[in-house]
Amino acid sequence: MDKPLTRNIKPDGSAASLAEYRAGGGYEGLKKVLAEFAPLEVQRQVKDSGLRGRGGAGFPTGMKWSFVPMGEDAPKTKYLVVNGDEMEPGAFKDRLLLEGDPHQLIEGVAIASYAIQANIAYVFLRGEYRLAADRLRRAIAEAEEHQLLGENILGSGFNLDLRLHTSAGRYICGEETALLNSLEGKRANPRAKPPFPQVSGLFGKPTIVNNVETLCNLPHILRNGVEWYKGLSRTGEPGTKIYGVSGRVERPGAWELPMGTTAREIIEEHAGGMRDGYRLKGYLPGGASTDFLLPEHLDIPMDYGSIAKAGSRLGTGTLILLDDRTCPVRMVLNLEQFFAQESCGWCTPCRDGLPWTVSLLEGLIAGRGRPEDLETLERLCGLLGPGNTFCALAPGAMEPLQSALKHFRADFERYLQPHSISGGVHA
C-alpha cells in the first residue's frame, strides 16, 4: 500500500532532512512542474486529480485555484497561504506532517504558488506548535540555500518568498477569511463573502488558502500523475487520507490509509480496538464539529460522500470516540464550552447562542433542567445552523449537539429525572 504523504515520517519522531526527502524523490515534482508545465496545466492536473481540501470543508482544490485571476491582466501580487492553524479538538494530523516532513509541505507550497503565479507565500502556523515552527524554519532556510525557494527556483525564472507566521492561539483563525485578517495583524473576525479571497484576499490581493495536508498531496500528484493518484483510493474519491483516532482505544494515533477506509478498520485494526471494559457508543468522524455516528455506521467508507450520506461530515478525518462509560451530555458540554470560548463574537447568534447552549447543558447536568430545555437546545441547533451565522463556527458547534440529541436522547432525558446525577459516568 503506497503511503506517499507519510513515507518519510520516522518512528523516532525526528524530521526528514533535505537529503532524506530528496532521496525518496522529493522536489522531483517541483522540478517537473517548473520544467514541463505551464501554470494552467498544473491547475488542470490538480482539478483532474479530484483532490479535495483536507482542512475540513473538502472543497475541490483545483476548482478553488481556478477562481484566481490569471494572465497578463491579473494583479501582479498574489498570495498563497498555508492554513496550519490546526486547533479543532480531535485533529492532530497536520502536526505529523509539519514535524515529520517539512520539506514535503515546502514543495507543495512551491507547486501551488507556481500554479496560481504567487510570488509570496505565508505559512500560518498555530502558536502552540513550537517544534513544528523550529523544524519548518530550518527547512525553509535549507530550501533557500539549495535554490528550492527564493529567486529563480531551479533555474526556472520562478521566484517564491516563503515566510513563517506563528499565530497566538485562536480557533477562529482556521476559518479562511479570519485567518487573512489575523495575518494582516487584525482581530481574527471572518470577512463577508463575496468578494472571495481568490479575488480579493490578503492585503486585498488574490489569495489562495490551502490546508497543510492538501498541499502535501501536490508533489506526488504532479510527479506520479492523476491516474496513479486515483488508484490510491478505495472509492471514487481519490488519494489517501490521514485518519486519526483518539479516545479509549488501545493504540490512539494517526495513519495514512486509502481514502474510503472504513471506521471499523481504522478503529479495530490500526487503533487496536476499544480498551478492555469499554464499548463504542458513538464517534465523531472528523473532529469536534461533526455529527455523531453510531456503531451501525462503522462499515461505511470514510470519504466525503459516504459520510455525508450517513448524516455527518468527513471533516478532518480524525475520529473522536465516545465510549459507553462517558456521558454523551457531558461530552457535548465540553465541546460547546470550547466553541463558546472560541467564538470571535462577531455575529450575535454565535456570540450569544453558544453561551446559552452551554448554560442550558450545565443546568441540565446540575439537575436544574426542565423538559422544555431539550426543545430549546433543538431550536438553537436551527437558529445557529447554516445560513444564520457569519461563518461556519456555530453551525459546526451545533453538529455534535443536534446528533447527540437525536442518538442519545435517553441520556439527556435521564438528567431530567430526580436523583439521576451520575457524576458524568453512567453505571
For the chain, the distance separating the N- and C-terminal CA atoms, rounded to the nearest angstrom, is: 43
Task: Choose which of 17, 119, 334, 422 interacts with other proteins (CB under 8 A).
Answer: 334
Q: Which of 338, 390, 408, 412 binds other proteins (CB under 8 A)?
A: 338
Among 48, 128, 144, 269, binds other proteins (CB under 8 A): 128
* 7 interacts with other proteins by CB under 8 A: no
Q: Which residues 6+ apart lie within 8 Å of 256 measured at CB?
A: 3, 4, 5, 6, 240, 241, 242, 243
Smaller CB distance to other proteins: residue 319 or 360? 319
Of the candidate spans 60-68, 110-118, 181-189, 386-394, the one that interacts with other proteins by CB under 8 A turns out to be: 181-189
Question: For other proteins, which stretch binds (CB under 8 A), given 2-10, 108-116, 184-192, 212-220?
Answer: 184-192
Integer Cα distance of 105 and 148 in angstroms: 12
In the bound state with other proteins, the residue whose beta carbon lies nearer, of 278 and 356, is 278
Q: Whole-angstrom Cα distance, residue 81 to residue 79? A: 6
Q: Cis omega (within 30 of 0) on the bond before 4? A: no
User: Could you say which residues in the range 291-320 bind other proteins, by CB under 8 A?
Assistant: 318, 320
Give, as ranges, the residues between 76 and 105 that touch other proteins (CB under 8 A).
86-92, 94-95
Stretch that binds other proteins, among 186-194, 290-298, 354-362, 415-423 (CB under 8 A): 186-194
Q: By CB under 8 A, tell whether 131 contacts other proteins.
A: yes
Q: Which stretch binds other proteins (CB under 8 A): 4-12, 234-242, 305-313, 328-336?
A: 328-336
Does 335 bind other proteins (CB under 8 A)? Our answer is yes
CB of 352 to other proteins, least distance (A): 19
Burial of 337 (0-12, 13-18, 19+ CB in 10 A): middle
Cβ within 8 Å of residue 291, ≥6 positions away: 284, 311, 312, 313, 399, 400, 402, 403
Site residues (CB under 8 A) for other proteins, limited to 362-421: none
Binding mask 235-264 for other proteins (x = CB under 8 A): ---------xxxxx---xxx----------
3-class SS at 42? helix
Nearer to other proteins, 27 or 79 (CB): 79
| Cα 242 to Cα 202: distance, rounded to the nearest angstrom | 29
Q: Which of 7, 21, 4, 165 is nearest to 84 (CA)?
A: 165
Contact status, residue 45 vs residue 111, Cβ threshold 8 Å: no
Q: Please tell me whether residue 17 adopts helix, strand or coil conformation.
A: coil
Per CB under 8 A, 168 contacts other proteins: yes
Omega prior to 371 cis, within 30 of 0: no
Query: What is the nearest approach in angstroms of other proteins to the Cβ of residue 132?
Result: 9
The total of other beta-carbon atoms located within 10 Å of residue 11's CB is 5
Residue 231 C-beta: closest distance to other proteins, Å: 29
- Dist CA 52 CA 63 (whole Å): 9
Q: Could you identify the residue written with the cell 496545466?
A: 41
Does position 355 interact with other proteins (CB under 8 A)? The reply is no
Per-residue contact track with other proteins, 37 to 76, x per CB under 8 A?
A: ----------------------------------------
Quote the crossing angle between the two packed helices 348-365 and 393-407, to the nearest 10°.
30
Q: Nearer Cβ to other proteins, position 116 or 333?
A: 333
Binding site residues, other proteins, CB under 8 A: 86-92, 94-95, 126-131, 163, 165-171, 182-188, 203, 244-248, 252-254, 288, 318, 320, 326, 331, 334-335, 337-338, 341-342, 344
